[in-house]
Each structure stands twice: as C-alpha cells, then as structure tokens.
Structure 1
Amino acid sequence: MTRAPVARKATGADPYAWLQNRDTDEVLDYLKAENAWQAQQLADQEALRETLFQEIRGRILETDLSLPSPWGPYLYYTRTTEGDEYARHYRCPRPADDSQTVDESAEQLLLDPNALADGGFFSLGTFSISPDHQRLAYSTDTSGDEIYRLFVKELASGAITALPFEDCDGSMTWANDSQTLFFGELDDTHRPHKLYRHTLGKDGAEEVFHEPDGRFFLHCYRSSSERQLILGLDSKTTSEAWVLDASTPQDAFVCVAARSEGHEYSVDHGLHGGQWSWFIRSNQAGINFALYHSAETAAAPAREHWQTLVTHSDTVMLDGFSLNARGLTLSLREGGLPIVEVHPQGLPAYRVQLPDAAYNLYVQDTLEFESDKIRLRYQSLNRPPQVRQLTLATGEQVVLKETPVLGVFDADAYVSQRLWATATDGTEVPISLVVKRELAGQPVPLYLYGYGAYGESLDPWFSHARLSLLDRGIAFAIAHVRGGGELGEAWYRNGKQEHKTNTFGDFIACAEHLIAENLTTADQLVISGGSAGGLLIGAVVNQRPELFKAAIAEVPFVDVLNTMLDPDLPLTVTEYDEWGNPQEPEVYARIKAYAPYENVSAQAYPAMLVIAGYNDSRVQYWEAAKWVAKLRDVKTDDNLLLLKTELGAGHGGMSGRYQGLRDVALEYGFIFKVLQRA
C-alpha cells in the first residue's frame, strides 16, 4: 500500500455512520485495509517486536502453581504450563496437617481452558464448585461478545452437561442443596435483567426476578457465611438488594430496603458478637459510606433496624468490607491510597502496615468463613505482586508467594514516587511514577496512563512487560484524575456528568507538571488509555495536541455523543447516570463540547495507535473506526495514525496470555518507533 486507507464520506450529519453497518463487505474491507496499513507501517519493527515478546516472556515463570485455597476436603489451585495460553484448574485432597502442600499424585484436573479454546478466543466466566464438592458450574465466551454458554460437570464421572439457555451473562450461583443454580439473562442491550432458577436434571428454568428499569444491572452471589443468597440490583447511583436462605432455594427472595434514588447499599451475612447478623454498607449517612449491622431476626434486615457499626467519615472512604467468623476487615481509601483495617472479634482494631509510599493492596481471599486468616495481595510499581497471609487476631503477616521475575531484577534499581500536580481550579491531583534510579529527576521519555471514570481506582501495579520500557530509559506514570475513586466518592463525582471536563483538565495538569518538573518533555511524552480512558485520550489530544508526542487509545469510547443518543445500543441507558442523557438539550451541549469524535479539527495531532475489538459489546468497533477516519480526513500533520481492529476479539482484546504479550510488544514497538529508540 502506498497510502493510508481513506474512508468514504457520506452525505448527512455523520459522514462515517456507514461504518456502523456491521458485517457488510464495505465495512469489513475498510477495517482489513486499515489492519494492512498498520502492519505495513510497523513492518520494519517485526524483529524488535519478536525481541520484546521473548524478552517479556523470559521474565515470566511460565510453568507455575498458584497458591492453593483450602475449602472443605480439598485444596483448589491452578497450574500454568509453558506454551499454554491458559491456566488449568485442579484440586487435591487437603493434607491432614492443614498445610498447603499439593499432592500431585492425587490431584484431579477440573477444567482445561486450553482444550476448550481450541486455538480461538476464550474467556472463562464463572468457575464455581458446588457446596458438596461434587459438581463444577462454569461458563464460556468463545467470541469476545460477553454472551456465555453454561455448563455443569460431574466431577466423579467427568460427564458435562451443556445447559440449554441462551443470552446468558455468565453468572452461576449455587444454592446449598448443590442441585439448584441461579443464572442471569441479558436483554437486547446486553444488560443482565432477569434471574432464573434451574434444578439439575429438570427441563427449563423458572424466572425468579425481572428488572425492567434499563439503568439497573442484576447479579446474584453467596454471602460470606454461605447461609444466604443475595440478589443485587445496581444502577450508577442507586441500589436494591433481595435475600434468600440458601437452604430453601425454592422460596422467594425478600427485599432488604426498597430502592430510593441516590441510596447505594450492599449486603452480606456473617457473625457479630457471636450471633448471625446482616452487614450493610450504605451511603445513607454520607457519600463515603458507613457500615451497619442488623440481627438475623427476620428474613431480611429492614432499614429501620440497621445499627451503626462504622460511622461515616468525611475524609476516609469505606470501599468495602470482608467477613470471617473471627473478624471484620474494612477496605478503606485515605489520602489516595488503599488501607486495610482489621477488626478482630473481641480485640482492638488495627491497620495493616506496608513498606511502600504508593502501592496496590486488597483482600484477595477471605478463605473459609471459619478461618482465622485472610490473604492480601500487595504490589507497587517496582515490586512484584505478593500474596500475604494475615492472622486476624495478631496482625502477623507472612509472604506466602511472590510473583517471580526471572533474569536480572532488583526492585531497588527503580524509584517509585508519589507526585502531586495542581489543576486549574487549585485541586491537587496525585501522580504515581516509576523510573530507573539513575535517571530519576532527569527529563526522560515518559509513558503517562490515565482512566478516571466510574469511580474506579487505578492503584499502582507491577508489570513484567513494563520493565522493557524502564530498562530502555522510559519512565511510567499514572495520572489519578477526577472521575476515578482514588480519593473517595467526592473525587468520583467531581469527574462525572457536568464535571466530566475535570478529568481532562486534571490529565493535562499532570502532563504539564511532569514537564515543568523537568521529568520529561512534550517531545518525549506518550499517553495512553482504554475504554473510558480512551475517551480521555481523545479529548486531551483535541485540546492540547502539542503537549504529546504520541497517543495510544484502546477500545476508545470516542463517539460518546452518538452512542449516548442511541438507547438501543448495549449499555447506553445504564450510562446516563455517568455521562448524562443527551436527549436533554443542556446535556447534549455539554457532551458535544468534549466528545472526541465531534471535536476533531484541522490541526496537527500526535502520532496515534488505536485498537478496537470487532466483537466488543461495551464500546462498539465503529467508534474507533469513525474517529480514525475523521482524523485522517482533517488533521494537518504527517504523523503516524494507525488503526488495528481485532476481528476475533471483544473489549478485553485477544484472550490468551501469549497473545496478550504480543499485543504489548506491538504497542511498545510503536512507542519506540515514534521516539526513535531501539
């Protein structure tokens, strides 16, 4: 090819709307042409990409055993094997001394996703062992569209039954009889809207619950105590929960607290003071949530019986909680960092102490309800993930497993920092940064990542692949912009709806701060984001293109105005609480003012790599395709503009671990090409 593909411009308000005609020859030919152009433009990097792939792969222990989880008479675990894309699932008898030593001679293979994938796309949804340990319920997606098939495997015989249900969301929840399964069904907009009950050995399924409001998703789960089933109904701003005794699955769910606009709450069941109790996390006393309890005196804990257990704080966010028979664990956020606070039964509370200034920490596994221990997962930008066992009563921590980094690696060879940028309104915005120690404080090429949506917290994480950037002198940073949850609920609310532009302004402020502090230059700054983070990237390259050398946008939500105007598309109605409903004139004007696709203009843009998934049900492939087509038509520069559409994948890209590494190698190769570095 001698020139980039040029998309046909049709008449009408949206000249590239024809790209939404899925599966037509014209659309597929255009996407394939863009893929060919991308491959041609990066063809000179084929050797570098292979070097990067092998380099990253060489750091990973490809044959490894996960940390076993004890449950009942077994240890459950996974094993990865060199050359395989997916981990296999196993169990073995639990040792009499209650150690975590796997007996390979007695282990049982439960599921092999490699065989199920057969070389194509594969995503495992639910993997759920029945309470009597006799059966495995699992769900699979083989296209990336997040529509799942349901299966039950008899573990004694190996017999597999495919359940005859369509449009499933992939969830499968056991009742305590180990015969009854609850599963969710998707509506035409890809929203879980119905819950069904199926009894093994019987035909069909019974509808248990239907949620007609398009803003609400439903999901069913087992309580920590294993004694209750909980049906959660959640929009972006409002919640409702229903509960059912797990030993009587044929009964009806009972409502805990009827939905009230703006009231968000979640429910669990455990022990309080030695008595079976309900636990409720609710924002009824303030936006950062408080925790309540209620005695198990009725089928559901009516709201008037809730008693405060942890009061609301203006400065500390209660992100969540975990229950064991011997303690309550709170997941908090304070000062932009995650905090784990343990309340052992009958003993003083304490906070878990950790070595790094900026880190990622969460409760990974509460083990069995009766366990006196929990497992924490801890990592930082320069420290590989650790699984730490915490004894609830004493606070003693033991590192059970640290993800190995093969080859030469020293965590102290890299400096991890927490910086603060100042937004135009005076708000201090946190930045997490890592760089090779000898380059700290110098202007080096820098990769700046951002998200900032849905209240999600983008805590620092370790990456084997990222070492290939750091060791080549490229720094990595995360902009913790408003719209995320890093600094609590107010941080989220100040980056959504009418405040959405704060997200973009914060990201620009972070970039400017990194340049002003002489940590990088505009000619060395690469930015990246995916999904709603792709919207962020699209907005800031429209607003300040001269600030960035290159941009990467993965499955980017860039056609936000047109998408939000179409309530028939998957997820649109549920997103009104995040972005607003553009059917309202003032919301229309607000979104139109920042929507990346709408605001492409005749100016010079940074070099750009855009990735889409053809089967993506969350962000449709055409958002990226239309955006790139418009950029090609109007931008005034000759910088690289590449579109790659994964024709066999969805929102998460290709599914296998080696396929994922090749995707990273492609992205890094693009960065090195633009920065003219090997």
Structure 2
Amino acid sequence: MSASKALTAAPTARRADGTDPYAWLQNRDTDEVLDYLKAENAWQEQQLATEKDLRESLFQEIKGRILETDLSLPSPWGPFLYYTRTTEGDEYARHYRCPRPADDSQQVDESREELLLDPNVLANGGFFSLGTFSISPDHQRLAYSLDTSGEEVYQLYVKELASGEVRSLPFEDCDGSMTWANDSQTLFFGELDDTHRPGKLYRHQLGEEGAELVFDEPDGRFFLHCYRSSSERQLIVLLNSKTTSEAWVLDAEHPQDRFVCLAPRVEGHEYFPDHGQVDGVWSWLIRSNQDGINFALYQAAEQPSAVPTRADWQTLIAHDEAVMLEGVSLNAQALSLSLREGGLPIIEVRPQGLPAYRVQLPDAAYSLYVQDSLEFNSDKIRLRYQSLNRPAQVRQLTLATGEQQVLKETPVLGPFDADAYVSQRLWATAPDGTQVPISLVVKRELLGQATPLYLYGYGAYGESLDPWFSHARLSLLDRGVAFAIAHVRGGGELGEAWYRNGKQEHKQHTFDDFIACAEHLIAQGLTHSEQLVISGGSAGGLLIGAVLNQRPELFKAAIAEVPFVDVLNTMLNPDLPLTVTEYDEWGNPAEPEVYARIKAYAPYENVSAQAYPAMLVIAGYNDSRVQYWEAAKWVAKLRTHKTDDNLLLLKTELGAGHGGMSGRYQGLRDVALEYGFIFKVLKLA
C-alpha cells in the first residue's frame, strides 16, 4: 500500500493464518511492515488534517509559556560551578562550567565559563539521547555516552577538557553507564546482552585499548548497575531483580582490586547500600527489607581490613508498617530520609547531634524529592518540589536548622496565576472496598462543575505518579478541561503493599481501581462519560488497553503511548529484550495458571466485537522496551473487531524509541498532536 497519496479508508492489515494473524508485523525492516506503518501514519495525519492549524497554534501557545533561553541552577563541585544553558531555537541544553567564586556564591562568571558539551552539534538534527555525563574526580576529563537511534545502545566517549580532544572508546553494546574511580584514569562501564539487559561490567584504563571483564551476571532477572557512594570513597555494583538484590563494593582509591560482596543474595531480600558517616564514624548505610516490606535502615561501621558482613548490620531506623522508607541521602552532617506516608512523599532530616524534623510544605498534594545532595561535606541539600498548579521549585534546605530558600522556580511566561487553579486530593472506592487516591486540578471557576476531564494512570513496578506541573497542561485547563491522576494499585504511592496488591495475581486490582476512579469522578458530578479522556504510557498503556476492553462505554477517548498491550506474547518470548526480568512483575506464562491469568486481561487477546472509544496510539519504531509491533498489532486487531466508526489512529515515530522524539520542540509538537486529537473528539476546537 502507498502512503504517498490520500487514503479513502483506514489501512487494513493482512490477516495471516495461525493463532496470531498479525504476528507478521514483527518482521522488522521488511517492506510490507514499513509500508503498513507509513500508511497508518498517513491516515493519522489525514484524519487530523482539520486540526493542523489548531496544533500549530497549540505548539506556539505552549512554547510561549516556556523561557526558551535559561540558565540552570549551578551545582558546586570542587573548584567549579557546573550548569546548563538553554537557548531559544535549540533543541538541547549546553553544558558549561566556570570557576567557583571565592565567596562560595552561585554567581556564574560568563567571562570565564567553559563549554563542556553541545548536544545540538552532536545531534545534527537527528535523534539524540545523552546517557552519562560524568566529570572525573580531578576535573580534567568528561566521560559521556550517546544514543543516536532511540534503541538505548550507547557509544562511549572521553573528552580531555584542557585540550578539547575527544576519544571514542572502542566498545559496543554499551548500556551508557560510565563510573570513575578516584585515580581519574579508570572507568567502569556496562554491557548489554542479547536481551538488552545490562549484565556485564568492564574495567577500562585510559590509554589502553581493551577492557577487563569484572562482572558477568548470568541470571537474566538481574540488572547490573555501578555507582559511586555518597562519600566518594567507595564504588558499588548493585545486582538487582524486581524482588532480590546483591551488592559488591570496592575502595575507589584502589580500582584494580577485586570487588567484595556486602551480603550474598537471598531470594526476596532487597538491600541498597551507600557509604558515609554517622557520628563521625565512616560506615555503610544499608536500606533493607529484611525486617519488613517498608524497609528499614541499618548501619555497619567500616572495618580497616574487611567489609562488614550482614551479621554486623545494626538497626538505625526500624521498620514501620505505616511508613515506607523509599530512599536515603547522605551528607557528612545529616541523613535525609525519603519517606512515603498516606500517599504523599515526605523528607525527614536527621542532623547529627540534633533533633529530627520533617520538611514543611504548602500544598495538600505534591511531588517532592532530593534533587541534589551537593558535596558530601555540604551543610545543605536541594529539594525539587511541585504540585499540579505550582511550577517546579528548587528549594535549598539547611540541614541543621530546616530553613528553606527557594533558589529557582520554573518560570511560566505570559499570564499565569497558580491560585487560578485548584488542586485537590479525592478518594474513590474500589470494588473490594480499598480507598484509591485521585489527584485533580481544574480552573477555580469550574470547581464542582461537570467538565471535560483527562484521566491519567500507570500502576506498575511500584512507581509513584506524584502530582507534577506541566506548562503544556495549561492549554487544557484554560479551555475548561480538568486533569486527574488515578493513583492505582501497582504503583508505589501508598508503599510496598500498594505495589504488591497490583502485580502478579493481583493485577486486576490495577484495572478495577482505575475504573473506580473514573466512576467516582462521574458520580461526583465532575465529568461525564461523553467528556472523559483517559491516557497512559508503556505499562500504563496496558492499563488503558485493559480498561477499554472491560468498560469501553465509560470513556469517550483514549491515548495510549508506547503501550505494553501484547503482554502475553511478549512474556512468552524470553529472547525479547527484558522479558525474563519482567517475570517478577507479571509472572512467567510458561506456568499454566500464570498463562491463564495474563490471558484474562491482556489487551491484545481480549479485543472483541464491541464499540470502543476514539483512540490515538503512539509507538516508537526503535523502542527496545515496548516493541513497535505491540501497538501495530493491537490497532490492526481493533480495526477488524470494533463495531463503531470512532477514530482509531496509530502514529509510529520511525526515528524514535521508548521516550518518543528527543528534542524539546519535537516533544511539544507531540503534545500538540495529542491535544488536537482530544479537542477534535470532544468537539472543543
């Protein structure tokens, strides 16, 4: 079929013989597949052609709110301030540094600044993703990695900052990670296996051609990750699956030595180590679930000639059934705990020798995390804070006193008043009686009225969808469209138990919760089914696909981005990227009861002869996490089964991966496309 001339009807994919009639769409790079995807792209553009001017208007409107030329908040490290600068018209921010002022202020000296990396030149108009950007401990070199296809396979580079000389390291199939030892000559990097899993770690000495294999993790469930400790004194290799972890450590001053295991893996035991000081004693700080699913914190004093064993771990912060310990940030003067309680993120600071306190914040529902713990000896950290109606702020926290200072707030150009929008936390009741939180934002004058509403969900891997601000979303809110997030089980918003109750044999809870949130919003008079648009991406696309099969009449339209909708066939193929490690999340369908369970909700398998809402489906041809054919097969099957004439559109980004197009302006055009679709379906344009 040709995509160059106008189509008189939606493309129809060929139905082949066999149990999966659209499996042929998995034949990557064949003419038949590419022709079909291009025809679908042409159909999508043709169907939204009447919104072309609206989309351009939305793009300019959204772009007009963003400060296109801006300087990031400089981060002090050693003798320099490091920062980025965006410039109007450029897709990517440039990376700079300048000498650190003698008064320790954060004032950039432009006359002495040094350009470290310009992604706009490196991208050359194509796809571009910067993996690692890592300055050596002596500040003489920059290690960085680039993905120019969207496949998440990286080329490694080292730049000599004094001369500007750039060397491409002669290694392939790299995961993009690069970790310096303290000699500023030794780099550790990860390699991907045939399933796109980072499972090998190599040690490379600058000036030498080859690299030494340090780790080779044979278990396909385990990912390998190497990082520097907060103290900068240790290197840590973390091997972790969805349920189990194991860490190996090495003195960063002696990178040629062997890594030593901190605690051998035990199925079900997850632990995450860091290295710092407690009351002046160099210690290992280990966040572990050995005493309960919400994790506790343990201390093991550093020993002069040996790594402490698990028997040496002493409880520093006990397990709490009501509070999830999500993370720990270490400074010489304090521990900063990232907690989750009642569905909200909380930062609790424990300064050494002083009482503990919790950071106080102005909103009822928000996003909060430690953005930068700065240098280990710093007496301050930086927090990133935002809510649905409040732009992101970087707040500096003085650890000893709790004093906060807003260092930077993301500007919104043009007319904007945060108080013109109302942010709320609502609770829906799931069929089993569970209370499910909803975050909602709407224009103040529309509060309590039935309005068009955009409902977003994810619900997997224990990830938390804390409320976030969006410049683009204002284009919805200002046109009378409310926005809500359904914090369904499978996510991590209410702790580890919330996650576990939405995975494996409990996965139906995720879908039930989302449906309950939609029904609650309708029952409260905040919207109607004819005004309700739903959206989700990746595993959230699986959520969208499942609820469309189960309750299609509840929604007017749906957007599914890189949707994991062919979950059963994918999980049956262990040779595909990341499948084996996903068994802990979804189960292994080689087991009959797991097969039946996944088949019962898998979006692709459960497409049936019924009416579906209008749908826009987005895929990335180079996506290594959710293959492009999942969306293509799903749309092909929907076309032959659905009984309505509602819009069904598929857009495949032929030069992008899991995250879509890479440039900031390209990303805004993608948002404008989605909003144009919404306004067309809801007849708001």
Structure-1-length-normalised TM-score: 1.00
- Counterpart of 1:144 (choices 147, 150, 173) is 150
Give the distance between the partners of 2:401 and 2:308, measured in 1 at CA.
Answer: 32
Partner of 2:673: 666
Aligned residue identity for 1:322: S
Distance 2:86 2:93 in 1: 4
**Corresponding position: 1:484 with 2:484:** no
Tell me, in whole angstroms, the C-alpha distance in 2 between the residues paired with 1:27 and 1:300.
55
Of 161, 172, 175, 1:169 maps to 175
Count of residues in correspondence between the two structures: 678
1:93 partnered with 2:99: yes
- Aligned CA-pair RMSD: 0.4
For 1:396, the equivalent position in structure 2 comes to: 403
Matches within 5 A, 1:184-223: 184-223=190-229
Query: What amino acid sits opposite 2:560 in the alignment?
Result: A
> Shift of the alpha carbon at 1:300?
2.2
List per-residue Cα deviations over 1:239-281 (Å, max 9, x = no partner).
Answer: 0000000000000000000000000000000001101000000
Return the offset for 1:582: 0.1
Match of residue 556, structure 1, among 550, 563, 573? 563
Following TM superposition, by how much is the alpha carbon of 1:299 offset from its aligned partner in structure 2, in angstroms? 3.6
Aligned 8 A contact 1:220 1:232 in 2:
yes
- Give 1:526's aligned residue: 533
Counterpart of 1:457 in structure 2 is 464
C-alpha distance in structure 2 between counterparts of 1:338 and 1:202, whole Å: 46
Q: Secondary structure at the match of 1:115?
A: helix
Instruction: Give the residue type in structure 2 aligned to 1:108.
Output: E
- In structure 2, distance between residues paired with 1:112 and 1:94: 21
Deviations 1:123-165 (A, max 9, x none): 0000000000000000000000000000000000000000000
2:281 and 2:295 map into 1 onto residues whose CA distance is 24
Equivalents in 2 of 1:404, 1:143: separation in Å?
32
TM-aligned CA deviation for residue 55 of structure 1: 0.2
Paired position in structure 2 for 1:31: 37
Assess if the C-alpha contact under 8 Å between 1:614 and 1:646 holds in 2: yes
Helix, strand or coil for the counterpart of 2:545? helix
Residue in 2 that maps onto 1:352: 359
**Alignment-derived partner of residue 47 in structure 1:** 53
Q: Distance in 2 between matches of 1:638 and 1:313?
A: 53
Structure 2 equivalent of residue 581 of structure 1:
588
Q: Deviations over 1:83-120 (max 9, x none)?
A: 00000000000000000000000000000000000000
1:630-678: CA deviation from partner (whole Å, max 9, x where unpaired): 0000100000000000000000000000000000000000000000002
Q: In 2, are the aligned partners of 1:243 and 1:299 still within 8 Å (CA)? A: no
Match 2:619 to one of 612, 628, 647 = 612
Q: What is residue 409 of structure 1 aligned with on the other side?
A: 416
Q: Which residue is 1:422 aligned to?
A: 429
- Asked whether the 8 Å contact 1:254–1:299 carries over to 2, the reply is no
In structure 2, what is the Cα distance between the partners aligned to 1:625 and 1:165? 34
2-structure distance, mates of 1:563, 1:363: 36
Question: How far does the alpha carbon of each residue in 1:346-383 deviate from its partner, in whole angstroms, 9 at most, with x for none?
Answer: 00000000000000000000000000000000000000
Q: Residues of 1 paired with 2:322 and 2:506: CA distance?
A: 21
Offset of residue 623 of structure 1 = 0.1
Alignment partner, residue 313 of structure 2:
306
TM-score of the superposed pair, with normalisation by structure 2 = 0.99
Q: How far apart in 1 are the matches of 2:56 and 2:76?
A: 40
Work out the CA distance in 2 between the residues paired with 1:365 and 1:46: 41
Looking at structure 1, the residues matched to 118 and 254 of structure 2 have their Cα atoms a distance apart, in angstroms, of: 33
Where does residue 118 of structure 2 map in the other structure?
A: 112
Q: Aligned equivalents of 2:354 and 2:306: distance in 1? A: 30
**Alpha-carbon distance, 1:5 to partner:** 0.2
1:140-289 map, 5 Å? 140-289=146-295
Residue identity in the other structure for 1:216: F
- Partner residue in 2 for 1:19: 25
Q: Is the 8 A contact 1:445 1:474 kept in 2?
A: yes
- C-alpha distance in 2 between matches for 1:593 and 1:98: 60
Q: Does 2:446 match 1:439?
A: yes
Specify the alignment match of 2:3 in structure 1.
none
Q: Distance in 1 between matches of 2:77 and 2:241?
A: 33
Q: For 1:302 and 1:490, how far apart are their aligned partners in 2?
A: 29
1:292 matched to 2:298: yes
1:367-408 CA-to-partner distances (Å, cap 9, x unmatched) read: 000000000000000000000000000000000000000000
Distance 1:299 1:171 in 2: 28
1-side partners of 2:308 and 2:73: how far apart? 37
How far apart are 1:592 and its partner, in Å?
A: 0.2
2:637 is matched with 630
Identity of aligned residues (%): 86
Measured in 2, the distance between the counterparts of 1:87 and 1:186 equals 28
Deviation at 1:563, TM superposition (A): 0.2
Determine if the alignment matches structure 1 residue 380 to structure 2 residue 387.
Answer: yes
Shift of 1:203: 1.3
Letter in 2 for 1:456: E
Question: Is the 1:523–1:549 contact (alpha carbons within 8 Å) kept by the matching residues of 2?
Answer: yes
Amino acid corresponding to residue 89 of structure 1 in structure 2: H
> Runs of 5+ in structure 1 lacking a partner?
none
Query: Distance between the aligned counterparts of 2:240 and 2:604, measured in 1?
Result: 30
Distance in structure 2 (CA, Å) of the matches to 1:114 and 1:326: 40
Query: Aligned partners of 2:521 and 2:435: how far apart in 1?
Result: 14
Quote the residue 2:4 is aligned against.
Answer: none
Q: Distance in 2 between matches of 1:265 and 1:475?
A: 40
Question: In structure 1, what is the Cα distance between the partners aligned to 2:455 and 2:435?
Answer: 17
User: Residue in 1 aligned with 2:65?
Assistant: 59
